[in-house]
Amino acid sequence: MSLTITWYGHSAFGLEADGTTVLIDPYISGNPAAKTKASSLAANTILLTHAHNDHVGDTVAIAKRTGATVIATFELANYVESQGVRSVIGGNHGGTIRFDGGSTKFTPAWHTSSYADGEDIVAPGLPAGHVVRFGGKTIYFAGDTSLFLDMQLIAEEELDIAVLPIGDHFTMGPADAVKAAKMLRAGAIIPCHYNTFAPIKQDPQQFKRDVEAATASTVVVLEPGASATL
């Protein structure tokens, strides 16, 4: 079985296997790095890491159009449901939720979580990461987070791929992401959450050199809109 992973820029990814698609944090409209339109994306399942607008993005519109099931931490799931999405599953840290073709296990993430809905700030809940089993692979999406030592436990999930933020400022930066890669021992590392906005400008090729010098992992640097089959 092969798994195709597509980066839409920032923290927005798609996973495709056997004709089934999972979107993660589909921030497309207003994403300066996105090369596609939200209205062109297929989805069976949408996984959210937290409520920030640069992660929830187009979730409600895509879910309404496609009928995709949205999986998020409990309070954010309730908010998404309140916006008229019919198929929503709320989970929480440590829990595994099954979906069409796979599953996800919520991990902790050190970050904050809020959603600006016009003038209102709503739907906090807690941020999370996801350990996704799909397409014959195990993929860790760290979400927005700092470095934390419990990544040693996440390594016990035997990761094929770890998707890590490297932008700094709002999340860990490249030096801490190298430390994360050392703990996670994934086959491949994919950096994200960089070069979308000025405060998170980073050099992913330097990150690749640093990780590959310090670990046995291969770093896959994607361009926004590009896919890798793993």
Over the window 7 to 46, marking each residue x when it contacts Mn ion by CB under 5 A and - when it does not, the resulting string is ----------------------------------------
Looking at this protein, which amino acid is placed at residue 184?
L
Q: Which is nearer to Mn ion, 3 or 126 (CB)?
A: 126
Closer Cβ to Ni ion, 116 or 226, answer by number: 116
Q: Which residue, 223, 26, 39, 31, is CA-closest to 141?
A: 26
SS3 category, 134: strand
Q: Do 67 and 86 contact (CB within 8 A), yes or no?
A: yes
Q: What is d(CA 187, CA 39) in angstroms, rounded to the nearest whole number?
A: 33
- 3-state helix, strand, coil split of the chain in percent (to 5) is 25, 30, 45
Residue of 16, 25, 75, 144 interacting with Ni ion (CB under 5 A): 144
**Should residue 54 be labelled a site residue for Mn ion when binding is judged by CB under 5 A?**
yes
Closest CB 127 distance from Ni ion, rounded Å:
7
Binding mask 88-127 for Ni ion (x = CB under 5 A): ----------------------------------------
How many residues interact with Ni ion (rule CB under 5 A)?
2
Q: Which residue has the tokens 């079985």?
A: 1
Q: What is the binding site for Ni ion (CB under 5 A)? A: 52, 144
